[in-house]
Every structure is written in structure tokens, then in C-alpha cells.
């Protein structure tokens, strides 16, 4: 009996879901936090009930968009962290990658983090805090894993790596949010200042004996 090969091609439902997310992205890039389900359905050439059929509800669509953009950001951050360079340079490149991402697509960032009252958050049952917090937690856990793999921060290093990971992500988020709103300085200056702030104990912790280092 001949062996069968698994078909890795996306199903018609998965392809259609991807097309709808592309349409949602276009509306978010245009309207930012004001993006509505009606506008997204119109952009996709379907009715709103059909849009709900693919994502369950407004929260489902939001989560799908959040995962889509968080995955892309994490890939970029990992590449910056793993690039061949000294520790300070990789730290600056990681900060630069995050800030460049939110600057290049500010409407997407605001849609995910600061939806307007007339946007999805105004719809009954949509709790924006319940959805944005997991994005930051995921970034914090990913960075903690990188720190734990590469550095030896000392006693109870796993717990400490998590503190550092979430602390760095919190700093990046808060500083980036403020910077994107007020633009008090150039992006390169903000990167340098944030790197200086982190360049205390992070700079003196030894690399682990085995592994890629940091």
C-alpha cells in the first residue's frame, strides 16, 4: 500500500480568513482606531454577518489581528537579538526594531492599543484591556526566555529573567507610546537614552558558558 503525503496547503476557509484579515488591515491602516466592522466588511465585499461567521465576534477579529501583528513583531525582535554584534549594539537594535515598527504603522498600533470610543471598544461586550494586556505579556515572556537562555543574572535566574523581560517590555511600551504621541526627540536619540537606562546590571551579567550569548 502506497504512503500518503500530508497536504500542507491552507484550506479554503483558511485562505478566506487570510483574505479577510488583509481587508481588515487595509481599513485599520486607513482609519486606525476608528476602524469599524461595517467598514471592514465593505472592504472585503461581504456583509457583517459573514465577517462574524469567520471570527465569531468583534473580539475574535481583534484577537486575530493582534496575533498577526504580534507574530511579525516577535520575528523582527528575535532577528535583532540574534544578529551577530556586541551586546550593546544588539540591545539598541532591539529597541530600534520595536520603535520603528510602531512608527511605521502608527494606525495599527493605535487600533491595537488605543481604540477610539467609536471603534470596537465602544461595542457592547468588548473589553479592550482584556485583549491588549496579553500582547504585552507575550512579548515579556518571549524576551524573558531570550535573557534566560543567554545570560546568568544570578540567584533564581529564571524568575529574575522574567522580571527583566516584562520590565524591559513595559519600558519599551510606555516610552514608545509617549514618544509616538509627543515626538519629543528623534527615534535614534530615544533608542540611545533607553539603552543607557538599561546599560547597568544588564551590561555586567556574564554570558552563560554555553549558548549564543547576549
Q: Determine phi and psi for 144, rounding to 5 degrees.
A: -60, -40
Residue 173 counted as domain residue: yes
- 56 lies in some domain: no
Does some domain include residue 31? no
Give me the number of domains the chain comprises: 1
Residues in contact with 150: Cβ distance below 8 Å, sequence separation at least 6, in sequence order = 207, 208, 211, 212, 213, 214
Residue 92 burial (C-beta neighbours within 10 Å; 0-12, 13-18, 19+)? buried
Dihedral (Cα; 137, 169, 121, 25), 10-degree rounding: -100
The lowest-confidence range among 9-18, 98-107, 122-131 is: 122-131
Tens digits of residue pLDDT in 38-70: 999 999 999 999 998 888 877 888 888 888 888
Residue 131: pLDDT over 90: no
Query: 101 or 131: which carries more pLDDT confidence?
Result: 101
Mean per-residue pLDDT for 88-113? 92
Q: Report the pLDDT value the prediction gives residue 43, as an integer from 0 to 100.
A: 95
Report the pLDDT value the prediction gives residue 24, as an integer from 0 to 100. Answer: 92
Domain assignment present for residue 75? The answer is yes
Domain assignment of residue 112, yes or no: yes
Over range 166-192, report the average pLDDT: 95
What count of residues does the chain have? 214
Mean pLDDT of the chain: 83
Residue 22 lies in a domain: no
CATH code at position 74: 1.10.357.10
| 76: Cα separation from own chain's centroid | 10
Query: What are the tens digits of pLDDT across the range 3-45?
Result: 455 566 778 888 888 899 999 999 999 998 888 889 999 999 9
- For residue 120, tell me if it sits in a domain: yes
Beta bridge partners of 151: 207
- Report how far residue 63's alpha carbon sits from residue 58's, in angstroms, rounded to the nearest whole number: 9
Task: Determine, yes or no, domain membership for 28.
Answer: no
Domain range for 186: 67-204
Amino acid at each position: 500500500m502506497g504512503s500518503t503525503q500530508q497536504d500542507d496547503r491552507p484550506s479554503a476557509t483558511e485562505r478566506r480568513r487570510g483574505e479577510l484579515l488583509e481587508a481588515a488591515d487595509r481599513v485599520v491602516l486607513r482609519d486606525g482606531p476608528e476602524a469599524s466592522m461595517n467598514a471592514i466588511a465593505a472592504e472585503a465585499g461581504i456583509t457583517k454577518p459573514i465577517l462574524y461567521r469567520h471570527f465569531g465576534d468583534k473580539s475574535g477579529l481583534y484577537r486575530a489581528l493582534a496575533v498577526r501583528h504580534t507574530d511579525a513583531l516577535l520575528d523582527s525582535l528575535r532577528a535583532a537579538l540574534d544578529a551577530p554584534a556586541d551586546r550593546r549594539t544588539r540591545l539598541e537594535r532591539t529597541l530600534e526594531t520595536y520603535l520603528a515598527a510602531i512608527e511605521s504603522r502608527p494606525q495599527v498600533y493605535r487600533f491595537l492599543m488605543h481604540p477610539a470610543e467609536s471603534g470596537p471598544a465602544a461595542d457592547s461586550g468588548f473589553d479592550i484591556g482584556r485583549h491588549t494586556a496579553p500582547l504585552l505579556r507575550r512579548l515579556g515572556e518571549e524576551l524573558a526566555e531570550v535573557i534566560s537562555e543567554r545570560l546568568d543574572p544570578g540567584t533564581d535566574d529564571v524568575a529574575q529573567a522574567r522580571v527583566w523581560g516584562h520590565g524591559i517590555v513595559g519600558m519599551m511600551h510606555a516610552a514608545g507610546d509617549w514618544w509616538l504621541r509627543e515626538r519629543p526627540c528623534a527615534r535614534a536619540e530615544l533608542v540611545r537614552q533607553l539603552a543607557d537606562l538599561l546599560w547597568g546590571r544588564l551590561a555586567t551579567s556574564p554570558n552563560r558558558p554555553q549558548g549564543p550569548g547576549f
